[in-house]
Amino acid sequence: MEPKPPGWSMTYGAAFGDTEVVRVYHVRPPYPDETITEVIRLAPGGAILDAGCGIGELARRLAPHVERVDAVDVSEPMLSVARRSAGGGRRNLRWLQGAVEDATFDPPYDMIVAGDSIHWFGWPQAVNRFAELLGNAGVLAIVHREWHLDEDALERLRPVFARHSWNPDFAPLEPVEELERRGLFVPLGEHVSRPVRWTPTLDEIVDVHFSTSGCARSRIPHPEAFARELREAVATSLSEVDGRYELEVVGTIVWGRPVAPKTREGRRFRRVVSDLKSDTDPWTESRRPVGPESAGARVTIEAQVSDSKSDTEDGKQVADRKSDTETAVDVGPRQRNDEGPARAGPSFP
Ligand SMILES: C[S@@+](CC[C@H](N)C(=O)[O-])C[C@H]1O[C@@H](n2cnc3c(N)ncnc32)[C@H](O)[C@@H]1O
């Protein structure tokens, strides 16, 4: 299998264990309420695993609405903040320190939610694990929040990131697309929230960038120069009122099925999703993109069982899938809502 993009290797992910990164992490804008509501709708009342929970924003906001949440992170400093943050002591919320690839869990889960974290995990081990941990109808929800939506501002910021980042391997790739391309994930639907206003100060904007792996204060060679250039770029490209900058945050969820890469016999297989097409599975319900006054956009992909021979493994055709215990699934290209916000490109910090 094609290796994971090198810019997402654990070498860079390890920055989330740095005290300096953890100290400013809370400055990131919250996920839009609409995104949280949609995640709750996808796992009504059930058991959730928050994978790569960081300071636990998703876990703490989801816990009051579901049966239980287990939240795992490899970074103890992140978990330490999570436990002490508002809602971190709920009885149905358990904090687990460890790597998703080998930590001890309490399955089954109705949903595994990965907020800005899936790209840091070991592929395919983590995906394999997720497939085991989810019940027959459980879903993996890949959640992302984007706060650089202004293309002009991004144009000014990109050279600053490129000059100062300690990650020369970084490439602006979409984790969902990379997982799909490797046959590790079958998406079933997508929800893009309406933009939510976020008005940080210049200091907060600087700290948000120090909370990312690539610009971690303790890792980049010249943090003061980075902060200065960032301030200049922001001040010249964004409008400010009373010391606060007008930004917007958009939350995106793509939910679907993780695909265990190999059976014990070494054959590639994909999980059956045809059984998800029943009335009792809310996430297979087709929805129209919504109008301006309603909530954000939800587009569900029709999954079709197929014995197509177009897929290949190691250059060879994968044939006779019908004889596998699990049947191959072809899904059409994921649709996006035309009315949704234009995304400035992935940052996946
Ligand atoms: C960008 S943060 C996202 C945190 C949180 N989910 C959020 O939405 O704000 C990525 C987190 O994934 C964690 N992480 C990276 N690799 C991991 C792994 N293999 N197992 C568990 N956690 C991991 C990092 O320690 C970090 O806290």
- Please tell me the predicted confidence (pLDDT) of residue 149: 75
pLDDT for 295 beyond 60 = no
User: Which residue minimizes the CA distance to atom 8 of ligand 1?
Assistant: 115
Report the residue among 120, 130, 170 best suited for mutation to probe ligand 1: largest number of ligand atoms under 8 A from its CB: 120
pLDDT in tens, 182-199: 999 999 999 999 999 999
pLDDT for 62 beyond 90 = yes
Paired tokens of 273: 């999703």
Distance from residue 120's CA to the centre of ligand 1 (Å): 7
- Please tell me the predicted confidence (pLDDT) of residue 137: 84
- Comparing CA positions, the residue from 284, 3, 240 lying closest to residue 139 is 284
Averaged over 154-158, what is the pLDDT? 92
Locate the ligand 1 atom nearest the alpha carbon of residue 114 and give its number.
6
User: Which residue minimizes the CA distance to atom 4 of ligand 1?
Assistant: 54
Distance from residue 99's CA to the centre of ligand 1 (Å): 9
Show the DSSP H helices in 182-275 as ranges.
202-210, 223-237
DSSP helix/strand/coil, 347: coil
Give residue limits of the domains in the chain. Answer: 6-261
- CATH superfamily of domain region 6-261: Vaccinia Virus protein VP39 (3.40.50.150)
How far apart CA 90 and CA 245 sit, in angstroms, is 34
Averaged over 210-234, what is the pLDDT? 97
Q: How far is CA 296 from CA 133, 188, 207, 305, 334, in A?
A: 29, 17, 29, 29, 16
pLDDT in tens, 100-138: 999 999 999 999 999 999 999 999 999 999 999 997 889
Locate the ligand 1 atom nearest the alpha carbon of residue 75 and give its number.
25
Pocket of ligand 1 from Cβ distances under 6 Å: 13, 16, 52-54, 57-58, 72-75, 78, 99-101, 115-117, 120-121, 349
Q: 297: part of which helix (H) or strand (E)?
A: strand 297-300
Distance from residue 98's CA to the centre of ligand 1 (Å): 11
pLDDT in tens, 83-94: 999 999 999 999
Averaged over 240-255, what is the pLDDT? 96
User: Which residue minimizes the CA distance to atom 7 of ligand 1?
Assistant: 115
Distance from residue 322's CA to the centre of ligand 1 (Å): 37
pLDDT in tens, 255-287: 999 998 765 433 443 333 333 333 333 333 322
pLDDT for 180 beyond 80 = yes
Let me know if 166 is exposed, middle or buried by CB neighbors in 10 A (0-12, 13-18, 19+).
middle
pLDDT for 329 beyond 50 = no
139-153, 201-215, 245-259, 334-348, range with the lowest pLDDT: 334-348
Report the residue among 49, 73, 112 best suited for mutation to probe ligand 1: largest number of ligand atoms under 8 A from its CB: 73
Distance from residue 15's CA to the centre of ligand 1 (Å): 10
- Please tell me the predicted confidence (pLDDT) of residue 234: 94
Q: 27 near 249, Cβ under 8 Å?
A: no
Distance from residue 345's CA to the centre of ligand 1 (Å): 20
Distance from residue 73's CA to the centre of ligand 1 (Å): 6
75-84, 141-150, 333-342, range with the lowest pLDDT: 333-342
Locate the ligand 1 atom nearest the alpha carbon of residue 17 and give its number.
25
- Please tell me the predicted confidence (pLDDT) of residue 262: 62
User: Which residue minimizes the CA distance to atom 26 of ligand 1?
Assistant: 54
Averaged over 21-45, what is the pLDDT? 97
Higher pLDDT, 348 or 52: 52
User: Which residue minimizes the CA distance to atom 20 of ligand 1?
Assistant: 99
pLDDT for 313 beyond 70 = no
pLDDT for 69 beyond 60 = yes
Distance from residue 135's CA to the centre of ligand 1 (Å): 23
Higher pLDDT, 298 or 96: 96
- Please tell me the predicted confidence (pLDDT) of residue 150: 84
How far apart CA 279 and CA 262 sit, in angstroms, is 30
pLDDT for 158 beyond 80 = yes
Q: 300 near 189, Cβ under 8 Å?
A: yes
Report the residue among 76, 117, 127 best suited for mutation to probe ligand 1: largest number of ligand atoms under 8 A from its CB: 117
pLDDT in tens, 28-39: 999 999 999 999
